[in-house]
A and B are shown apart, each in its own frame.
Chain A
Amino acid sequence: MEYRFDKEELDQIEKIKARYPEVRPATLPVLWIAQNKFGHVGPKVQKLVAKTLDLPEAHIHGVAEFYTQYYKEEKGKFVLDVCTCLSCQVCGGYDILHYLEEKLGIETGETTEDGMFTIQQVECLGACGYAPMMQITNGVYVNHLTREKVDEVIEGLKNGKLPQFESKEMRKVNPQDR
């Protein structure tokens, strides 16, 4: 497959470049545009980004390797990033991770044979009060996970339905505690 940006994306990239006094700061945003389009930023995509920004390929590669959210190889259609860090750990994040492994028949880091799901274990995602939780393909956060909720989410994803964004309001002190 040949990787290329279309006119619209190139226009968007020009706008991004205008935000900074030099071209290099566009590296992260353009890697994001590439990953959103191609699903990963493997070596060929890195080459395209380097060419588009007229920056050394080694620089693009170094940046892509440093940040965990960039996929350096193709992943499943849905990447399930399960948090197991601290608050999620003490609230059962590992149980959720192991339940997913069992349910999908793969280990963490692997992709199902049909290419639908990849399971990853990730570090703190900043949703500690809503643990355990996971993020789907660098997108929506799914909070307060239980086995039942995992079943629901997986069933939905199989039908191409992403969970809705869950707004978590500020907490108020209970009136009786005032």
Chain B
Amino acid sequence: MASEWKNFEPVLIPDIANLRNIDVYLDNGGYEALKAVLGSEWTPSSVIGEVKAANIRGRGGAGFNAGLKWSFMPEPDGKPRYLACNGDESEPGTFKDRKLFEFNPHLFIEGALIAAYAMQCTTIYLYIRGEYIDWIHMMDRALQQAYDKGFIGENILGSDFSVDFYTHSGAGAYICGEETSMLESLEGKRGYPRVKPPFPAQNGLWGRPTTINNIETLANVPLVINKGADWFTSIGARNHPGSILYGISGQVNRPGVYELPSGVPILDLIHEVAGGVRNGKKLKAVIPGGSSTPVLRGDKLEGVTMDSDSLREAGSMLGTAGLVVMDEDTDMVDVLWRIAHFYHHESCGQCTPCREGTGWLEKVLLKIKNGEGEIRDLDLLLDVTTQMEGRTICALADAAAWPVRHTINRFRDEFEARCKRSTFATA
């Protein structure tokens, strides 16, 4: 794997000017996969089979095989079925899907249309966070272009497949990136996650079968149809194939979104791709895949690569592949308190362990940050995380608990140094 990434040519967002314009997209082979799929060579089930074989693992963070997810949809019964595209992108450190909206919207649209065909969906909703208003407008324009060319609507390209495709704007709520919360928000309600089961494939939007996919996940679909599952699985890490939109932020010289194969050594990403740590400082820590993925120590990154297996072994997760890089001067207590504040602010409040737990985490961390904490508060924090994890409807409580547990365990000396000496020690 070592340096294979150096010769990689981007496929999700290739370097072609004005690709967002549908005519340029068509000139570059755009919508060929959709045409093929609607032709006589493919059936809905053969599309699902190919995508399943490609093992496109969900790029929204959970990493579930997209084709397998599609296969959970029940047989069509003539009533409405839905595809909901998740463009909520609210995990701190994540800013990749907006690149597809801005630079290659039709690849995503084509992928969503193929997915809708494979699952025989009648309507596609594209949920985008409200803050991305400029990108929502871009998608509205791109969808209009696709409608005008006959790729969306009634009897697409003369086939008997018809589907509508609409954007739906959020209005500021991290939780709406959780798939069932997103469905609630699409239904016009407060974004409260639903109890599962029933799963969305059985009981989704308005009680009908629904599948939710991330934007980047769907953008990979036309590539798989055009070039085949074998081509896709030959890219990057074996157990997590394909290219990834790595969002690199924090204290690096060249932050931004880069498209590279999965499985790039994390140190290459930081030092070579992103130009190293700012001002020649030493690397202290990196969060590999958005704020909920456990932080890794800078001195424990040798040999760690950006794929699910390697990161699990290192004690973290790939998540959304949004890396946040921190230099030697970073105050880990401050960072962790800010993360805890985020989850407290974003907890929807349905489940007690999360609503109260995230508050406790933030409050105790603030106390430590202000130099008023005691060593035993660290153990209290760790105890609270175990009381939250796995005890709630959705994964927000887990996402809040993991960074606290792992940041304290991996930088315990820093946390202890901020605590007051226990009273009995000086008595």
Contacts and interface: CB of A to CB of B under 8 A. Distances in A.
A126 B132 contact: yes
Given A28-B188, A129-B95, A172 B15 contact: yes
A37 to B, nearest CB: 15
A140 B189 CA distance: 26
Contacts of B190: 62-63, 66
Given A29-B169, A84-B338, A126 B90 contact: yes
B171 A70 contact: yes
Contacts of B98: 126
Given A126-B131, A141-B134, A87 B93 contact: yes
Contacts of B273: 173, 177
A90 B247 contact: no
A68 B342 CA distance: 13
Contacts, number: 169
B149 to A, nearest CB: 20
A25 B188 CA distance: 4
A140 B133 CA distance: 8
B326 A90 contact: yes
Contacts of B6: 173, 177-178
Contacts of B93: 86-87, 124, 128
A63 B190 CA distance: 5
B303 interface: no
B131 A32 contact: no
A85 B251 contact: no
A105 to B, nearest CB: 26
A37 B233 CA distance: 50
B211 interface: no
Contacts of A173: 6, 258, 260, 272-273
Contact of A32 (B91, B169, B330): B169
Interface string A52-70: 0000000100110011111
Given A32-B171, A86-B339, A165-B134, A170 B188 contact: no
Interface in B85-118: 89-95, 98-99, 102-103
Contacts of B53: none
Contacts of B91: 124
Interface string A8-34: 000000000001111011111101100
B371 interface: no
Nearest to A21: B206
B359 interface: no
Interface of B: 6-7, 10, 13, 15, 80, 89-95, 98-99, 102-103, 129-134, 164, 166, 168-174, 185-191, 206, 247-251, 254-260, 272-273, 275, 287, 291, 322, 324, 326, 330, 334-335, 338-339, 342, 345-346, 348
Q: Which 6 pairs from chain A and chain B are nearest by CB? A: A171-B256, A69-B172, A67-B171, A27-B188, A128-B249, A68-B172
29 contacts: A20-B188, A24-B189, A25-B168, A25-B186, A27-B189, A28-B185, A63-B188, A66-B173, A66-B190, A67-B191, A85-B338, A86-B92, A86-B287, A87-B92, A90-B250, A90-B251, A91-B250, A123-B342, A124-B93, A126-B90, A126-B131, A128-B94, A128-B95, A131-B250, A131-B255, A170-B10, A170-B259, A173-B258, A178-B7
